[in-house]
Amino acid sequence: MRRKNPVVRVGVIGCGLVAERRHLPALKRLQDVKVVAVADTDEERLLAVADRFSIECRFTDHRTFLAESDAEAVAILTPTQFHAKIALDALEAGKHVLIEKPLGLNMEECEELAVKGSESRKRVMVGFNMRWHSLVDEARAIVQQGTLGELRAIRSVFSQRRSPEDEPPWKRRRELGGGVLVNEGVHHFDLWHYLTGRQIEQIHAVSKTTDKHHDETVVIASTMTDGLPASGVFSLASGGQNELEVYGTCGRLRVSLYRFDGLEFSPSTAYPGDVASRLSNLISAIKHVPHAIRASHHGGSFSATFQAEWQHFVECIRDNREPACTLRDGQRALQVAIAASHSLLSGQSVCVSEAPRHLAPVPFGPGQDIPLETM
């Protein structure tokens, strides 16, 4: 008779939209997880989220939460400026920790957290949920199998229409972790490394900053290990798109993360519109239909990444093994974003390993009227 896995007790610190719409629904779908407590400094928000998900233990201070709740693991889903501090407190309290990206605001606090994490017997994972997208899994296997031949370039496009009036002030200020470069760009910096195994070494960035939103649109040109070029267009002022393309001597691989049929391989001999390639991609799309139907019951393939991410973390806790997405991964992606911010300041390319250790300030008027409140 198969033994039932013990239930892992999870607590959530931060009751914003990512908790309400992504993490808590994902956690509720896992049979071997129980959400036992939530915390947020906004009591009205705290009560609304706790009531919606029927969570009895509620705290307005994370220190009281860590001292009094019986959670074994905590999710840190607060504004970025609080990530490292709360994670350090959670490890000190003997909790396993999942930290939403980005890991922090500067390299010093990330390194302090890395030291504490290495000294702790608890598991720590950074929440780059797109690593658990089913299409990313397939794409990584294709790249690693050598199907594309020698890699020649990688590119990303992320865009989403967001009104500044609908976002909290911290999401609009670069120094607080806001703007598309720091808050969203780190996802793709991590995916470039995850798919290719290479590091970003040199980066050049240009951006559009408005009087309502720092880094509303950022364009990146970078060089990875072995001279592999990587580019990205990231924007909070356009329609929804989230995709990558990897180019090799034997073909091109396109991954569109908002489509269930978003994995397309085109051999180097084919051009857009080629009948054979389109037929092959159609057959591939049909194969993905069963998964898409299952995922649709839980908000689609993108929402399913949060459930897969948590399932992995719970298994790492249970098996006492290191998660696939480490503090080093979080540090690496933040370091690239910091280097890009200094490229924006100087107008020059920046070597990632030699970049300053803090985000560069926005050096001119736009954004100065964004309120200073952080929660």
- Active-site positions? 101
Question: Residues with Cβ < 8 Å from 172, sequence gap 6 or more?
Answer: 164, 178, 179, 212, 213, 214, 367, 370
DSSP 2: P
46: phi then psi, degrees, rounded to nearest 5:
-55, -50
331: tokens are 């540090």
What are 252's strand-pairing partners? 247, 266
> 129-163: buried (b, 16+ CB within 10 Å) or exposed (e) per residue?
bbbbbbbbebbbebbeeeebeebeebbbbbbeebe
Residues 370, 139 contacting (CB under 8 angstroms): no
CA distances from 198 to 102, 335, 353 (A): 20, 15, 14
The strand pair at 263-267 and 217-224 is best described as unpaired
Cβ neighbours of 210 (radius 10 Å): 16
Judge whether 97 and 74 are in contact, CB under 8 Å.
yes
The residue written with tokens 């939403």 in the block is 100
> If DSSP states are collapsed to H, E and C, what string results for 35-89?
EEEEECCCHHHHHHHHHHCCCCEEECCHHHHHHHCCCCEEEECCCHHHHHHHHHH
Distance CA 335, CA 233 (A): 18
> Is 320 within 8 Å of 304 (Cβ atoms)?
no
What residue spans of the chain are helical by DSSP H? Answer: 17-18, 24-29, 43-52, 62-68, 83-92, 107-119, 134-144, 180-183, 185-196, 275-287, 289-296, 301-319, 327-346
Give the distance from CA 10 to its chain's centroid.
20
